[in-house]
Copies of this chain bind each other. A is one copy, B any other.
Amino acid sequence: MKRSLGPRALLYPTPVVVVGSYDAAGKPNVMTAAWAGVCCSRPPCVAVSIRRSRYSYEGIVRRQAFTLSIASTEHVAQVDYFGLVSGATEDKFAVAGLTPVRADTVDAPYVAEFPIALECRLRQAIDLGVHTQFVGEVLDFKADESVLGPEGLPDIEKMRPFLYAPGQGTYYEIGPALARAFSVGKGSCA
């Protein structure tokens, strides 16, 4: 039997992305977000939702660009820190001991030490309420050589990203492979 919990913004799992941008003075800044996902395959687009009060907001709008960096489990403390403080008062890269790298295709920085970086040109800013959804077209997707599989694409088991369980305030690791997609459902339900 299902219980109604009312209107709630919960989905399981959500990713944990680190949004990179430059502020007005050109200082590289990062913030952590979980309201994010892929939203179009061609052209490749991703979305991340950010509150207008966040320091990153103006930087993204001004330069019409952001990056999404995805961390491995070893950097969970730094990722959490990026969501706890504001770039208005702290140089988060310096405090975390991580390295900003200017993206090749857009005017925004990504985190060198994290295995994945998406370089995004801002395409739409959609005001939905307390969050504005930024839709970005992915102009380049970069991955550390060390997380690539034999076909040259990222291998999530090598990448070891983590996920967020909203409402619980907890990060979880990725578990074991469960099944092949576009395969396990063939003929198994008849």
Contacts and interface: CB of A to CB of B under 8 A. Distances in A.
A141 B35 contact: no
A116 B68 CA distance: 28
Contacts of A95: 189-190
A38 B177 CA distance: 24
A46 B36 CA distance: 10
Given A9-B44, A9-B45, A174-B175, 10 more contacts: A1-B145, A2-B144, A9-B46, A10-B153, A11-B68, A12-B15, A82-B185, A84-B186, A154-B168, A171-B178
A80 B181 CA distance: 6
Contacts of A138: 7-9
A17 interface: yes
Interface string A159-186: 1011111111111111111111111111
Contact of A128 (B39, B49, B166): B39
Range of interface residues on A (Cβ < 8 Å): 35 or more
Given A10-B141, A12-B156, A173 B173 contact: no
Interface in A3-61: 3-15, 17, 34-47, 49
B84 A182 contact: yes
A44 B7 contact: yes
Contacts of A83: 181-182, 185
Nearest to A81: B185
